[in-house]
């Protein structure tokens, strides 16, 4: 293999990887601009060296694929992607190709929404199905999740026999910020940008989660229609609006490419003021008959082109670095900059990610740095242009909020404070402590907890068990009934099993299941507090990181003081799980699919009451796989490993 062929294959491999991360995992690792430039380089090489062309090259395929989570939907009309342009010269080249084929073309220019492309189908004016683009030919049926998006009409303003439209599901900037705040609060990895947040939200198995994410849609194309004759794109957009679809307001018809370019510039200058993310603008030939003449390539329509805005970058001075303690205890550095105008807004702060990033770039206070907006949302420092600092910035060794020593765990980039009473983490810890899977204190939801913290009623975890109920009654919106309900729920939580308390403490790497394993093994909290790493590792299901996390947590004085205070206020610290029948002792069950009558949590509880345990993955150690409807890949793996598969009837027979 020569150097050119090797380069082409490397580019294809890299592009396939990043395409999969972007389209299918909703977790991009590089910026769109880097991806576009690699794609452009590959396309150029394939044109120069046609002997190395390949039908499965990324230059010829739409990036996504149908996921086996949802039912597949073949697209009757292919959902094509668009050819990209990055300069005015390329737009003039596009216009020349169009004029070489058709006479006097007119164009429609519209913003290119950065979201997830979907198809919506209607029969007799009623919504019947919605699907993702997938690979352009086959997508995923996400009808249930699309139904909960507010601006998708379930009934059109006309009972048209059949229409299929194409739109872009997106997450508004305000919704994105709200979702990321909630993810950080729950110690989850936040979405990188609104596009991936929208894609991840639309692919949820539970449409209630989708509904909570604040998604929206712009419909921009008619794929096919019966009962109505339309001759142009502008006419179709006006008709879509009449039917009740949400179309973008700023589409404009022009008669020449020069005016189209001026409109693209206008959209670009205004994009920083939009409530949604755009990554470019699209020029489309307006006449449908001319589109038919122009046709398509294997991947792109020849009658449209997408101009991609390059990420705007500016140089400025880094005047300081602030360290903030997040709600999960992670110390996050923020660059304080001399203000600079960037992508339509004034930027004076930018993310520096972590200490590894700072070391890699050699960043210090006083340096001249290049800043850009990642995905036009979050400003970030790209590089140092001029080193003025005497040394690279180093994180503090103690938490700026509580002054306890900070740690960096093996294999992690994050440096964090693990003090459970750290003021910076208070709200997140309190919400977690009171949540359903933890202490399950009804009436103390996130909004009420935040209210109590703001009013000084709760200053730490233990305050939950010595609330000033008279002070709560004085707050707006609280009456005697609601206060009595909170009081009763707090008292009830004192009787919880030890496993719920362990989970409620918010120990790093210790979820609800690990809390139950600790509770069942050690039986009381004092034994857990004093357990060594080696003793914890004796528990089947515990690894080095989990064991070290438990030992590290209870080694702090603040954690031990919290445990003592909880005992003082009457919170149960012993295991209430007594196994009288051990018929499942030593057995491991994996639950998959939907059972006819039992919920998974109910089945798990039954298994554990008989001395067995449950696991989330199938392995050679699995004893039984309890399978219901739509069992999926776990059932396949069980069959391949020869693991016995049982249904609910067999399971009920086993526990009689």
Q: How far is CA 167 from the centre of its chain?
A: 20
For the question of residue 112 being annotated catalytic, the response is: yes
Separation between Cα atoms, residue 438 and residue 390, nearest integer Å: 48
Taking CB atoms within 8 Å and a gap of at least 24, the contacts of 141-146 are: 141/70, 141/71, 141/72, 141/73, 142/70, 142/118, 142/202, 142/203, 144/207, 145/201, 145/202, 145/203, 145/204, 145/207, 145/210, 146/118, 146/120, 146/202
Separation between Cα atoms, residue 220 and residue 169, nearest integer Å: 11
Question: Hey, is 181 helix, strand or coil?
Answer: helix
Helices (H), 141-193: 143-147, 173-185
φ, ψ dihedrals at 97, nearest 5°: -65, -40
Separation between Cα atoms, residue 141 and residue 16, nearest integer Å: 24
Residues 6+ away with beta carbon under 8 Å from 228: 160, 163, 239
Residues 6+ away with beta carbon under 8 Å from 446: 185, 431
Distances (CA, A) of 219 to 117, 154, 164, 167: 9, 14, 11, 4
Q: Which of 7, 61, 112, 234 is catalytic?
A: 112
Helices (H), 118-232: 143-147, 173-185, 194-202, 207-212
Separation between Cα atoms, residue 216 and residue 482, nearest integer Å: 35
Catalytic residue IDs = 112
């Amino acid at each position: 293999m020569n150097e050119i062929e090797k380069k082409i294959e490397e580019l294809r491999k890299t592009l396939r990887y990043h395409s999969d991360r972007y389209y299918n995992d909703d977790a991009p690792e590089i910026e769109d601009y880097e991806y576009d430039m690699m794609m452009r380089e590959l396309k150029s090489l394939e044109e120069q060296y046609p002997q190395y062309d390949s039908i499965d090259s990324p230059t010829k395929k739409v990036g996504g694929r149908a996921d086996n989570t949802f039912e597949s939907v073949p697209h009757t009309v292919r959902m094509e992607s668009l050819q990209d342009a990055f300069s005015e010269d390329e737009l003039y080249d596009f216009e020349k190709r169009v004029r070489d084929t058709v006479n006097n073309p007119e164009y429609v220019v519209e913003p290119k929404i950065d979201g997830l492309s979907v198809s919506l189908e209607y029969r007799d004016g009623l919504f019947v199905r919605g699907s993702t683009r997938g690979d352009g030919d086959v997508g995923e049926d996400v009808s249930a999740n699309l139904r909960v998006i507010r601006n998708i009409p379930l009934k059109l303003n006309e009972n048209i026999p059949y229409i299929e439209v194409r739109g872009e599901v997106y997450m508004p900037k305000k919704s994105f910020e709200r979702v990321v705040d909630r993810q950080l609060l729950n110690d989850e990895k936040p979405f990188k940008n609104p596009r991936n947040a929208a894609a991840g939200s639309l692919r949820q198995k539970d449409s209630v989660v989708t509904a909570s994410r604040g998604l929206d849609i712009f419909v921009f194309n008619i794929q096919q229609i019966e009962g109505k004759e339309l001759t142009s794109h502008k006419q179709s957009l006006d008709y879509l609006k009449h039917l009740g679809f949400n179309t973008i307001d700023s589409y404009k018809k022009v008669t020449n490419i020069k005016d189209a370019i001026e409109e693209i510039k206008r959209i670009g200058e205004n994009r920083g003021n939009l409530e949604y993310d755009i990554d470019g603008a699209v020029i489309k030939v307006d006449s449908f008959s001319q589109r038919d003449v122009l046709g398509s390539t294997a991947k792109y329509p020849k009658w449209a082109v997408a101009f991609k805005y390059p990420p705007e970058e500016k140089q400025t001075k880094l005047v300081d670095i602030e360290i903030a303690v997040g709600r999960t205890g992670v110390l996050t550095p923020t660059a304080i900059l001399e203000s600079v105008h960037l992508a339509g807004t004034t930027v004076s702060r930018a993310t520096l990610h972590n200490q590894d990033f700072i070391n890699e770039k050699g960043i210090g206070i006083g340096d001249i740095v290049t800043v850009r907006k990642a995905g036009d949302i979050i400003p970030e420092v790209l590089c140092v242009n001029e080193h003025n600092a005497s040394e690279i910035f180093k994180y503090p060794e103690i938490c700026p909020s509580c002054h306890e020593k900070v740690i960096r765990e093996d294999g992690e980039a994050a440096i964090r404070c693990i003090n459970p009473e750290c003021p910076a983490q208070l709200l997140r810890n309190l919400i977690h402590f009171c949540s359903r899977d933890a202490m399950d204190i009804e009436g103390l939801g996130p909004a009420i907890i935040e209210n109590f913290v703001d009013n000084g009623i709760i200053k730490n975890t233990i305050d939950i068990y010595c609330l000033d109920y008279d002070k709560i009654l004085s707050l707006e919106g609280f009456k005697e009934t609601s206060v009595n309900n909170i009081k009763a729920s707090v008292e009830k939580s004192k009787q919880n099993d030890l496993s719920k308390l362990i989970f409620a403490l918010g120990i790093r790497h210790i979820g609800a299941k690990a809390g139950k394993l600790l509770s069942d093994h050690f039986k009381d909290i004092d034994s857990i507090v004093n357990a060594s790493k080696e003793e914890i590792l004796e528990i089947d299901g515990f690894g080095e990181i989990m064991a070290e996390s438990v030992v590290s947590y209870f080694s702090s004085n603040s954690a031990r003081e919290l445990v003592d205070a909880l005992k003082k206020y009457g919170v149960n610290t012993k295991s209430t799980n007594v196994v009288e029948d051990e018929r499942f002792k030593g057995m491991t069950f994996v639950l998959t699919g939907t059972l006819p009558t039992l919920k998974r949590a109910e089945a798990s509880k039954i298994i554990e009451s008989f001395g067995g345990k449950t696991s989330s993955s199938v392995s050679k150690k699995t004893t039984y796989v309890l399978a219901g409807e739509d069992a999926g890949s776990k059932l396949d793996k069980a069959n391949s490993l020869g693991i016995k598969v049982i249904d609910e009837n067999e399971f009920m027979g086993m526990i009689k």
